[in-house]
Amino acid sequence: MTAAPDPAAIAALKVALGPDGWLESAADTAPYLSDFRRLYRGATALVARPNSVAQVSAVVGLCARAGIAVVPHGGNTSYCGGATPDASGAELVLSLGRLNRVREVDAAGYALTVDAGCTLAAAQVAAVAAGRLFPLSLGSEGSCQIGGNLSTNAGGTAVLRYGMMRELVLGLEVVMPDGRVLDQLRSLRKDNTGYDVKQLFLGAEGTLGVITGACLKLFPQPADYVTALVAIGGMADAVALLGRVRDEFGDAVEGFEYIPRLAHELALAHVPGVIAPFDHPHPAFALIELAAPKPWPELQARFEAFLGAEVEARTARDAVVAQSAAQRDALWFLREHIPDAQTRAGASIKHDVSLPVARLAEFVDTATATLATLAPGARVVGYGHVGDGNLHYNLSPAPGVVRGSAEERAFLELAARVNRVIHDLVATFGGSFSAEHGIGRLKTGELERYEDPVALSVMRAVKAALDPAGIMNPGKILARRPAVRRD
Ligand code: 2HG
Ligand code: ZN
């Protein structure tokens, strides 16, 4: 599938989509042809912008018959190039952005049914309007779309309490690679009817079909939140504190984020509006959030007393508890702008790893010592969702390295070796090289290397069974295989 698509097929697609349903000029298609991190640049003959499930079905059916590959495209916030077509121009981009209706809010049933192109923020707002909570929470929630969240099994900052996107789904609607519509858009909590087919499409990054709608789980809306930034000595302190906070406050603990000093310093230096809550530097911080049922002031008082005792016992160095919604927002602003700060500071080498929580501190010590030899001078900006064992164990070049300089290029040339060392270490610690960002195009080689071979063969078998012509998002998750010689 490398030849340019048949012009007759493109003409038929345009008819099926109607005059407002496609883009083809270079200027119009450009935003769909590179990924969020600018790692890839692709090409396409057409960006399809269907506005109904029937149109998605028609487009995929036409593509199946014409042998045109389809690259589903949501809010384009993927870190792994999962929504970018290849450079051949032979793949069609299928944007879900116009499929953006909230279909139904069922407050009594704690369920929300939306189109795949709804932004995460729109889904959250719809839930709040019904007095409910949709708990998935990510830095990119204003632009990422539910279909992308489902297809990458997104995580974020409330996984500790509510789970990843996979755990927040009741029902799904999917256009299959031959254009048929799989209708499992049910809100049932109990449905033991054989294989859970919908699960196949969650985390599949559009390689098995196009998700067009989902019925999502809602939760009671907390009366308020109690949010604190706690200064600590490092990762070992964070893990110990996490255990005590969970023992004391149980399921009220919604988030537990780790912020090393360097991440805070980068945010302060590069992102206007970031606050410095303490008057002298500390090695690291834990951003902890509890959700308070009614009445909430008691929880705030109990949490303040708990943190006071931690500081007294010197298991924490200092703590601030937000006293208003604005103060809470300021603490989250600091956390959520760390990726942005690292980007503004210059080049970075990223890892999205997860480890057993009990081994996080040992991992950080071992990895940091190894990198001191492999990438001398590089700075570790290892922050993340410690409550879930998920670290964004990223590297920035030494201070003073100028963007575009030879030093920066030398730093980036280390990326493959650094990735290998870190991912090997993660594997020896029983962790995962991809915690929440998925595989996309970026990590197909890592999947081949680290995934259990039986699991990998099951994945290939599922792909071959559901998409025998290989038209759905080729080269994502599973590496393209060279053509097999038959002579
Ligand atoms: C976060 O937790 C995101 O802020 C981005 O997952 C992580 O940029 C990163 O490495
Ligand atoms: Zn993250």
On the question of pLDDT at 452 being above 60, the answer is yes
Ligand 2 midpoint to CA 41 (Å): 24
pLDDT given for residue 330 in this prediction: 98
What DSSP line would sit under 389-452, residue for residue? Answer: TEEEEEEEPPTTPPTTSHHHHHHHHTHHHHHHHHHHHHHHTT-BSBSSS--TTTTHHHHHHHS-
| Eight-state DSSP code of residue 6 | P
What are phi and psi for residue 205, nearest 5 degrees? Answer: 50, 40
Let me know if the fold of 224-339 is the same as that of 347-428: yes
Phi-psi region of 141 (alpha: psi -120 to 50; beta: other; left: phi over 0): alpha
Strand partners, 395: 349, 380
Share of residues in the chain with pLDDT > 70 (%): 98
The span from the CA of 396 to the CA of 371, in Å, is 12
Q: How far is CA 440 from CA 109, 174, 293, 434, 471, in A?
A: 34, 19, 39, 11, 15
Name which residue sits closest to atom 10 of ligand 1, judged by CA: 392
392 Cα: distance to centroid of ligand 1 (angstroms): 6
What pLDDT sits at residue 294?
A: 78
pTM: 0.96
- Cα(62) to centroid(ligand 1), Å: 37
Report the residue count for the chain.
487
- For 390-404, what is the mean pLDDT? 95
- List the CATH code of the domain at 224-339: 3.30.70.2190
- H/E run at residue 299: helix 297-312
Task: Give distance in angstroms: CA of 467 to centre of ligand 1.
Answer: 32
403 C-alpha to ligand 1 centroid (Å):
21
Q: What average pLDDT does this structure show over 464-484?
A: 89
350 Cα–ligand 1 center, Å: 9
CB 320 within 8 Å of CB 278: yes
Ligand 1 closest atom vs CA 342: 8
Q: Which residues pair with 69 in a beta bridge?
A: none
Confidence of residue 2 (pLDDT cuts 50, 70, 90): low
Residue nearest to atom 5 of ligand 1 (CA): 339
Residue 247: the pLDDT is 98
Proportion of the chain above pLDDT 90, given as a percent: 96
Q: Supply the pLDDT for residue 4.
A: 87
352-378 pLDDT tens trace: 999 999 999 999 999 999 999 999 999
- pLDDT (average), residues 246-275: 97
Q: What is the pLDDT, as a whole number, of residue 293?
A: 79
CA distance 365 to 356: 15
CATH of 347-428 given 3.40.630.30, 3.40.50.2000, 3.30.70.2740, 3.40.50.720: 3.30.70.2740
Q: Which atom of ligand 1 is nearest to the CA of 390?
A: 2
* Nearest protein Cα to ligand 1, atom 9: 339
Ranges of each domain in the chain:
7-95, 102-220, 224-339, 347-428
pLDDT at 339 over 80: yes
Q: What is the pLDDT of residues 80-94, one digit of tens each?
A: 999 999 999 999 999
- Return d(Cα 149, Cα 170) in angstroms, integer: 14
pLDDT value for 485: 44
- Tell me what pLDDT residue 148 has: 98
Give residue 486's pLDDT. 44
Q: Which helix (H) or strand (E) holds 111?
A: strand 111-115
Query: Looking at residues 414-422, what average pLDDT do you find?
Result: 98
Mean pLDDT of 331-348: 96
In the CATH scheme, what is the code of domain 102-220? Answer: 3.30.465.10
pLDDT tens, position by position, 38-78? 999 999 999 999 999 999 999 999 999 999 999 999 999 99
Q: Is the pLDDT of residue 483 over 90?
A: no
Dump pLDDT digits (tens) for 89-125. Answer: 999 999 999 999 999 999 999 999 999 999 999 999 9
Structural contact between residues 388 and 159, judged by C-beta atoms closer than 8 angstroms? yes
> Which ligand 1 atom sits nearest the alpha carbon of residue 156?
2
Give per-residue pLDDT as tens, 144-172: 999 999 999 999 999 999 999 999 999 99
- Which CATH architecture best describes the domain 7-95? 2-Layer Sandwich (3.30)
**Contact criterion met (CB below 8 Å) for 76 and 83:** yes
Q: Strand, helix or coil at 28?
A: helix
Mutation choice for ligand 1 from 338, 344, 393, 436, CB with most ligand atoms inside 8 A: 338
How far apart are the C-alpha atoms of 323 and 249, rounded to whole Å? Answer: 19
Query: According to the model, what pLDDT value does residue 480 have?
Result: 87
What is the pLDDT confidence band of residue 487, given thresholds at 50, 70 and 90? Answer: very low
**What value does the CA radius of gyration of the chain take, rounded to a whole number of Å?**
23
Q: From the CB of residue 28, how many other CB atoms can be counted at a distance below 10 Å? A: 12
Ligand 1: which residues within 6 Å by Cβ?
Answer: 139, 339, 350, 384, 392, 394
Which atom of ligand 1 is closest in space to residue 343's alpha carbon?
Answer: 8
pLDDT tens for 307-317 read 999 999 999 99
The CA-CA-CA angle for residues 303, 306, 310, to 5°, reads: 135
Please state the rounded mean pLDDT for residues 294-298. Answer: 80
